[in-house]
């Protein structure tokens, strides 16, 4: 199991979302972005209840794990993350992010349940959730995922108004001197990466921005990595 805590927070890390890949050849698509320089693989799990869409579950991830040694950054857009945490960990996930807005159990209990599986822990915030909502949990998690679209579907337009939230959280991370990844997901590509990096997000989820980039996945990932020079510049 790869430890997210070993990854740097002072440079851009690219996590292509396979939600935008060719589902008929997922293992080959993961190999393709790994060869192109991706740092992490992003797996979007949706249950059709917490969000209005269905994707894939632990059996698909288990199959992919046999083909790849990359860090699996798994975003659980599901109503009962603690209930299914062990299944996803056993399938080969290295990291599990759940939503602060899910009401299955108290947040602290969900964090503990994920920790017990051996995975690192992240919390995601929907666009309407204020940044301060994450502050009580900052020292207990390894990653914060800011949604820059409404969760549930790929290919949506980037929400610029989430950048203030991003900057607020990054300033708090820096103030407390915590080693926490600040991840952003939704509509991020070669055109929007600059503002995302400038407002503090160093881990970048990109689906269509990588798999659909006209110049190819290697060029897309290089463009995203290049934004390291802008990281935190708007704080």
Q: Which of 39, 44, 142, 189 is catalytic?
A: 44
Give CA–CA dist 61/31, Å, rounded: 15
Nearest to 185 by CA among 193, 173, 177: 193
Q: Which of 73, 142, 185, 189 is catalytic?
A: 185
Has 10 been annotated as catalytic?
no
Has 185 been annotated as catalytic?
yes
Nearest to 18 by CA among 225, 210, 230, 218: 210
Just list the catalytic residues. Answer: 44, 185
């Amino acid at each position: 199991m790869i430890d997210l805590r070993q990854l740097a927070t002072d440079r851009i890390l690219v996590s292509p979302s396979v939600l935008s890949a060719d589902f008929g050849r997922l293992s080959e698509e993961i190999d393709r972005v790994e060869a192109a320089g991706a740092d992490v693989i992003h797996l979007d799990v949706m249950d059709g209840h917490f969000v209005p869409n269905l994707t894939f579950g632990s059996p698909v991830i288990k199959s992919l794990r046999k083909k790849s040694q990359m860090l699996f950054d798994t975003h659980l857009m599901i109503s009962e993350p603690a209930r299914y945490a062990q299944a996803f960990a056993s399938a080969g996930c290295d990291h599990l992010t759940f939503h602060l807005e899910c009401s299955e159990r108290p947040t602290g209990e969900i964090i503990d349940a994920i920790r017990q599986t051996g995975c690192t822990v992240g919390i995601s915030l929907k666009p309407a959730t204020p940044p301060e909502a994450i502050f009580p949990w900052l020292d207990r998690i390894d990653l914060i995922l800011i949604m820059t679209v409404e969760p549930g579907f790929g290919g949506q337009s980037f929400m610029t108004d989430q950048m203030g939230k991003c900057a607020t959280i990054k300033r708090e991370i820096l103030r407390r001197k915590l080693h926490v990844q600040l991840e952003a997901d939704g509509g991020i590509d070669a055109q929007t990466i600059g503002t995302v990096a400038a407002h503090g997000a160093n881990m970048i989820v990109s689906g269509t921005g990588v798999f659909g980039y006209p110049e190819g996945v290697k060029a897309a990932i290089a463009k995203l990595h290049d934004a390291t020079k802008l990281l935190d510049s708007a704080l």
